[in-house]
Structure 1
Amino acid sequence: MSSSYDFDLIVIGTGPAGCSAALEAARLGLRVAAIERKECIAGVSIHKGTITSKLLRRTILNLQCARQNPLLRQLFPSTKNMRMTDLLSEVESVIAQESQSVTWKLGRSGVTLINGLATFVDSHTILVTSDFDTQYLRGKMFLIAPGSIPHKPDTIPFDSETILDSEELMQMNTVPASLIVVGGGIIGTEYANMFAALGVKTTLIDRHNELLPFVDREIVGILLQAMGDLGVTIRLGVNVDSVHKNPEGHNEARLSNEESLSAQIVLVCSGRRGNTKRLNLDRAGVEMDEHGFIKHDGSFKTHASHIYAAGDVVAFPALASTAMKQGRQALHHLLGVQETYNIQHIPYALYTIPEVSMVGATEEELVRDHIPYQVGRAKFYDTLTGEIRQDSRGMLKLVFRPDTFELLSIHAIGSSAAEIIHVGHAVMELGGTLEYFKETVFNYPTLAECYRTAALNGLRKVTSGPARG
């Protein structure tokens, strides 16, 4: 390393993208520094997003199971006046464990962890400011991974008490009696499901005419039925023009169709912005779009050739799982290291109730692209595990080429959908076909048995009818 640089690589942010890049760089022999605010080590997703929401969901599912059990239902009170701290009792300990784990991994690997806020002075120099001191650091290369923050529309008067963004939601004292969720993306739909499952009167509003347009329409149809059973009211194709307090002290949302809805709490999930405001990226020659997301060339290289960006700060797909991969990919491209394996398809999951997961194209995309296909389906209830779990809506859907039986996509909805998707994903990535599922042995009883049922269902259709697409 040139003596003019303090580090070969400076990583800004220790979330999934930043941490994976820093660890890989250290493994490759670079001298690495990672910059992060002390209260956010391991990233915003751990402290304010992924972990908190998943712990809340798990608690809600446990409550649901208990209330369905005749022996247990009388032990659990109504959610009326239930405190959020009761539902999130494990959050602090889990966050502390994750933060300690990341700190230990970085330290063990030889990464210098520096607490503070980073701002660029020039394209090779940053100023790191903490509560105790400031210091200038020079880096030969940079990986920017500060994550994202909630987008707050100017038309909505956020007050951090009853009109909240997704990161403020967990600060509520009690479970509300009623909730309006503005925005039907992944975050908004997940929270609408969770609170409806708690018995909260919930309304979900989205400006698009379709909910979750990137998800297979058949799967969304099943999800909408489940949301209806939970009591979620859905308003699509309308905007929220204004929010104000009504005489009863509740928040009243005025919609673009002139309808008015009131609720105790308004949760706004209208997208995210790149967490780049304080970085002074213009001084480094790094460009952003109007939402604060960093522009890159597809390989995560910014307009400054020695500065790369990864994770939520580059927008799509904004998932912790993909951020880890992006961090490593960005580093390898920065160093000119050949990727050992190129993943063709990335799985996604929505932690709704029931959960949804998918990998590959939707039926709608295949029809659009004129790709012939056939579908094999299996209900979770076709397996003993599905019966035991009383998962009457669960379904696995295999989409494949009718001539070669090559897998084109997998879609699942129901309990453990995000887990069982990986069985099909692995077969799909390695070029396997439906024949594998027909012939292999699955543990019994498991939901994975649905793969054989769906494969047999699909193979029967090939011999009895024409392909779709």
Structure 2
Amino acid sequence: MEHYDFIVIGSGPAGRRAAIQAAKFGRKVLVVERGRRVGGVSVHTGTIPSKTLRETALNLSGWRERGFYGRSYRVKQNLTASDLRARLTITLTHEIEVLEHQFARNQVTTLRGDARFRDRSTIEVAGEEGETFLFTSDAILLAVGTVPFRPDYVPFDGTSIFDSDEILELTHLPRSMTVIGAGVIGIEYATIFSALDVHVTLVEPRTTMLDFIDRELIDDFTHQIKDRGMVLRFGRKAERIIKLEGGGCEIQMEGGRNIRSEMVLFAAGRMGATSTLNLESCGLDSDARGRIKVNPTTFATDVPGIYAAGDVIGFPSLASTSMEQGRIAACHALGQQAHEPPKFFPYGIYAVPEISTVGMTEEEVIERGIAYECGVARFRETSRGHIMGLDTGMLKMIFSLKTRRLLGCHIVGEGATELIHIGQAVLNLKGTLDYFVENTFNYPTLAEAYKIAALDAWNRMPQH
């Protein structure tokens, strides 16, 4: 039975960052990964693959140039699923090699196998060839990520009915697709396939989507996706999915109106991958969705010495925040100093168009009773927007009337996830409207939208 200073279960963003941080403290670290190679869901089926698929789809379809050349413009006329997968393979191989090199350079031991608790400080790992290993540690991090939620009424088959992991194994592009679930994953895939000219129907039992995003942004986003032919069927539940004899599927909806399409993607949530960890033996438990409760500052669980980070602890379930959570958890687990997780972090949704947001929404500002003013800029108002052929896209900033401080920044459109960091920096440094009005931005850039939005707010604010 081998002893380690720190054991990490899972090698996704949280596990990777935690292991490397612990190694930099000079500790003996073990990472256990049950997947084929290191990287976790983020590298193999989540963040990196879906974003690569998005970029490939936009490039090969000529999506970004259609503002100039019309909707029928294509870079590659007969785009196939294998075209999409070719780039995916190149990107994933590179990511895995970088990660394996990081582990090797920092002398982190990695082991492939299924880990489960024997007791609070003992981990049993079932290896690839049936062998069993036992390890002990006083500091253990659970960074096991999530798996797709697969309800019994959905007859998943990996050919016409997919979950959000299986969709990457697609063998051909369908003519029509129904996406069930208007969460982040469902919306990302629905809009990516819509950009590939697949007829997409998005089904969601609630009447709204992405409730944590500013409503004005969601209204703009909804208009854009409807304008290009996506069908939104909200407020009705999918009750049954039937595979049709001649091919395709029928989704039987609550209320009797059914949907037929060639393929179905079920993306209504994910579950923490905790079912095989034998949590009871170490005194831990998980909620109905397999998530583990932690202290939001230290990421410690209720059991001393055991920490959890990443998607397995729930919202925000972002690769970026998971990395920070893992690093902070490693510091606390090993008795080192750590800063508190930042209050405001950028949230990026890689749909088509992108959405990114940081700080308070207008709804939250109103709820808190803060006197405020908004400034809005449309990307078409910028010279760079014209050069790029953009007719859509907007940036919205919310300022306090009393202090003139930036309270929230919200962007929908091309490059939103890159542009948001200017707003993030000003927000976290407690900057005001005056920063945007008084500073010079490169011309022509989309970042100029910050100045346009700030002047829009300034025009309506009392000047002291």
TM-score normalized with structure 2 length: 0.95
- The equivalent residue for 2:284 is 286
Letter of the structure 2 residue corresponding to residue 330 of structure 1: A
| Contact 2:38-2:96 within 8 A present in 1 as well | yes
Q: CA deviation at 1:317?
A: 0.9
Name the CA shift for 1:433/1:446 in 2 (closer, same or farther; >3 Å): same
| Contact 1:13-1:147 within 8 A present in 2 as well | yes
| Contact 1:52-1:88 within 8 A present in 2 as well | no
Worse-superposed segment, 268-277 or 39-48: 39-48
Structure 1: distance between partners of 2:233 and 2:41? 30
- The equivalent residue for 2:315 is 316
Pairing 1:448–2:419 present: no
Within-5 A mapping of 1:46-57: 46-57=43-54
Q: CA deviation at 1:279?
A: 1.1
SS in 2 for 1:92: helix
- The equivalent residue for 1:423 is 422
Q: CA deviation at 1:70?
A: 5.2
- The equivalent residue for 1:236 is 234
- The equivalent residue for 2:458 is 459
Once superposed, what is the RMSD of the aligned Cα atoms?
1.8
Letter of the structure 2 residue corresponding to residue 102 of structure 1: L
Q: CA deviation at 1:388?
A: 1.0
| Contact 1:251-1:262 within 8 A present in 2 as well | yes
- The equivalent residue for 2:258 is 260
Within-5 A mapping of 1:98-113: 98-113=95-110
| Contact 2:325-2:341 within 8 A present in 1 as well | no
SS in 2 for 1:52: helix
| Contact 1:357-1:417 within 8 A present in 2 as well | yes
- The equivalent residue for 1:93 is 90
Structure 2: distance between partners of 1:329 and 1:213? 28
Q: Which runs of 5+ in 2 are unaligned?
A: none
Q: CA deviation at 1:332?
A: 2.4
Letter of the structure 2 residue corresponding to residue 337 of structure 1: Q
Q: CA deviation at 1:73?
A: 4.1
Structure 2: distance between partners of 1:338 and 1:422? 26
Structure 1: distance between partners of 2:175 and 2:417? 30
Q: Deviation per CA, 1:108-156, whole angstroms, max 9, x where unpaired?
A: 1121112222111111111112223321111121001011010011221
Q: CA deviation at 1:346?
A: 1.2
Structure 1: distance between partners of 2:91 and 2:293? 34
Letter of the structure 2 residue corresponding to residue 384 of structure 1: S
Q: Deviation per CA, 1:187-236, whole angstroms, max 9, x where unpaired?
A: 11111111111111110000111121111111111111111122110011
Name the CA shift for 1:369/1:69 in 2 (closer, same or farther; >3 Å): closer
SS in 1 for 2:111: strand
| Contact 1:6-1:139 within 8 A present in 2 as well | yes
- 58, 61, 83: which one pairs with 2:58? 61
| Contact 1:360-1:410 within 8 A present in 2 as well | yes
Name the CA shift for 1:384/1:408 in 2 (closer, same or farther; >3 Å): same
| Contact 1:55-1:88 within 8 A present in 2 as well | no
Structure 2: distance between partners of 1:391 and 1:70? 12
Q: Deviation per CA, 1:290-342, whole angstroms, max 9, x where unpaired?
A: 11111223332112110000001111111111100111122223234333465
Pairing 1:405–2:399 present: no
Letter of the structure 1 residue corresponding to residue 453 of structure 2: A
Worse-superposed segment, 290-299 or 348-357: 290-299
| Contact 2:65-2:389 within 8 A present in 1 as well | no
- The equivalent residue for 1:131 is 128
| Contact 1:190-1:350 within 8 A present in 2 as well | yes
TM-score normalized with structure 1 length: 0.94
| Contact 1:5-1:140 within 8 A present in 2 as well | no
- 219, 223, 226: which one pairs with 1:225? 223
| Contact 1:182-1:204 within 8 A present in 2 as well | yes
- 119, 124, 127: which one pairs with 1:122? 119
Within-5 A mapping of 1:133-282: 133-282=131-280
Letter of the structure 2 residue corresponding to residue 210 of structure 1: T
| Contact 1:287-1:303 within 8 A present in 2 as well | no
| Contact 1:226-1:353 within 8 A present in 2 as well | no
| Residue-pair matches, total | 458
Q: CA deviation at 1:453?
A: 1.2
Letter of the structure 2 residue corresponding to residue 265 of structure 1: M
| Contact 1:193-1:230 within 8 A present in 2 as well | no
Structure 2: distance between partners of 1:180 and 1:134? 43
- The equivalent residue for 1:467 is none
Pairing 1:9–2:6 present: yes
- 24, 27, 52: which one pairs with 1:27? 24
Q: Deviation per CA, 1:370-405, whole angstroms, max 9, x where unpaired?
A: 222110111111211111112221111110101211
Q: CA deviation at 1:44?
A: 1.1
Structure 1: distance between partners of 2:363 and 2:300? 32
Q: CA deviation at 1:366?
A: 1.5
Name the CA shift for 1:221/1:260 in 2 (closer, same or farther; >3 Å): same
Worse-superposed segment, 83-92 or 349-358: 83-92
Structure 1: distance between partners of 2:230 and 2:47? 22
Worse-superposed segment, 127-136 or 367-376: 127-136
- The equivalent residue for 1:379 is 378
Q: Which runs of 5+ in 1 are unaligned?
A: 465-469
- The equivalent residue for 1:437 is 436
| Contact 1:84-1:170 within 8 A present in 2 as well | no
Name the CA shift for 1:335/1:372 in 2 (closer, same or farther; >3 Å): farther
SS in 2 for 1:88: helix
Letter of the structure 2 residue corresponding to residue 447 of structure 1: L
SS in 1 for 2:139: strand
SS in 1 for 2:459: helix
Name the CA shift for 1:13/1:74 in 2 (closer, same or farther; >3 Å): closer
Q: CA deviation at 1:247?
A: 4.9
Structure 2: distance between partners of 1:408 and 1:336? 35
Q: Deviation per CA, 1:147-188, whole angstroms, max 9, x where unpaired?
A: 101001122121222111010112121000110000000111
- The equivalent residue for 2:41 is 44
Structure 1: distance between partners of 2:227 and 2:52? 23
Q: CA deviation at 1:37?
A: 2.9
Structure 2: distance between partners of 1:183 and 1:148? 16
Q: CA deviation at 1:442?
A: 1.4
SS in 1 for 2:389: coil
Structure 2: distance between partners of 1:192 and 1:35? 34
Q: CA deviation at 1:249?
A: 2.8
